[in-house]
């Protein structure tokens, strides 16, 4: 009976997710059509859509850090990836208008694809290396124009709560853009929403935002050093908030087709330091 009860609750949550997301995407597109301001739909995602998703999941958010970040200026936020709910958490705790690197297939999804295209998300076909490189160039141009990007440098969601080695694409992007990297650690998200399916349970998600790491003056020769420095910070913060961390001896992922920041998955539709609950 308990299992059946959770199945019914999760089914209701899935329906809410679909209806809630469709409503706010439609509202955001209407606002964009009226105002022609791409930042307003992103603000709506942070202040309206994300809190509703976290409320429906019965997720309590504990976040600390963020001192020294000028949220009005462009940064590249690099966060470990555990669950599709990470998207809502990121919108909720990072007070910047965030854009993502997303799978190109999402551009063809009604409502979601329209929203992502209209708000300036970066679409990439990761299976094609030339397209992946072009996506980094497009993202760099958006950042230099003032956009902030959230990327998942592991390249995919972790299946065991540990931090995976980082891919190099996000660090190439950071150096080419010459904007600071902000390490972000998240723990507990996969306990609230499983990384392998739509299994939702109440729980606490902890986030820690690190100090910005400057990239001004760095060149591509500094890419691996920047990656290792960022990995060490995310690994340390992850352990500090109760996570398992990763393997500091293997911070760099093997070369492969996932060598660009991890795209958004289809399931995700006061001043610092911050501590709040959804």
Nearest CA to 241 out of 95, 67, 79 is that of 79
Tens digits of residue pLDDT in 197-211: 899 999 999 999 999
With H, G, I as helix, E, B as strand and everything else as coil, classify residue 22.
Answer: helix
Cα–Cα distance, 189 to 85 (Å, whole number): 7
Token pair in block for residue 34:
């009226």
Residues 119/33, Cβ–Cβ less than 8 Å: no
Condensed to tens digits (0 to 9), the pLDDT of residues 255-271 reads 754 445 555 554 433 33
Q: Tell me if 103 sits within 8 A of 240, measured CB to CB.
A: no
Residues of the chain with pLDDT under 50: 257-259, 266-278
pLDDT of residue 100: 86
For residue 270, the model assigns a pLDDT of 38
List helix spans (H) across the chain: 2-35, 39-44, 50-56, 86-93, 112-118, 129-144, 169-177, 189-192, 223-240
Give all domains of the chain, ordered by start, each with its CATH number: 2-240 (3.40.1130)
Q: Is the pTM of this model over 0.75?
A: yes
- CB half-sphere exposure, 214, CA atoms < 13 A: 3
Identify the pLDDT of residue 264.
52
Biggest alpha carbon–alpha carbon distance for the chain? 61
């Amino acid at each position: 009976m308990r299992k059946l009860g959770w199945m019914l609750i999760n089914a209701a949550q899935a329906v809410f997710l679909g209806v809630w997301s469709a409503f706010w995407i439609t509202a955001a597109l209407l606002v964009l059509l009226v105002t022609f301001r791409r930042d307003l739909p992103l603000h709506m995602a942070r202040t309206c859509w994300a809190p509703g998703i976290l409320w429906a999941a019965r997720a309590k958010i504990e976040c600390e850090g963020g001192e020294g970040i000028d949220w009005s200026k462009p940064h590249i936020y690099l966060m470990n990836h555990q669950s599709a709910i990470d998207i809502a958490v990121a919108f909720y705790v990072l007070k910047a208008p965030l854009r993502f690197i997303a799978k190109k297939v999402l551009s063809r999804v009604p409502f979601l694809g329209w929203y992502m295209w209209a708000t300036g998300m970066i679409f990439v076909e990761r299976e094609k290396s030339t397209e992946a490189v072009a996506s980094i160039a497009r993202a760099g141009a958006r950042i230099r124009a003032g956009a902030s990007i959230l990327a998942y440098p592991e390249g995919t969601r972790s299946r065991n709560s540990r931090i995976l080695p980082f891919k190099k694409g996000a660090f190439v992007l950071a150096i080419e853009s010459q904007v600071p990297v902000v390490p972000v650690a998240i723990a507990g998200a996969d306990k609230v929403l499983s990384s392998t399916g739509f299994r939702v349970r109440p729980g606490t998600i902890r986030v820690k935002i690190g100090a910005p790491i400057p990239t001004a003056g760095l060149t591509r020769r500094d890419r691996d050093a920047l990656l290792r420095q960022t990995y060490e910070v995310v690994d340390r913060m992850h352990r500090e908030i109760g996570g398992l961390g990763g393997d500091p001896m293997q911070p760099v992922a093997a070369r492969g087709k996932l060598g660009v920041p991890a795209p958004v998955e289809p399931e995700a539709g006061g001043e610092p330091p911050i501590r709040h609950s959804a």
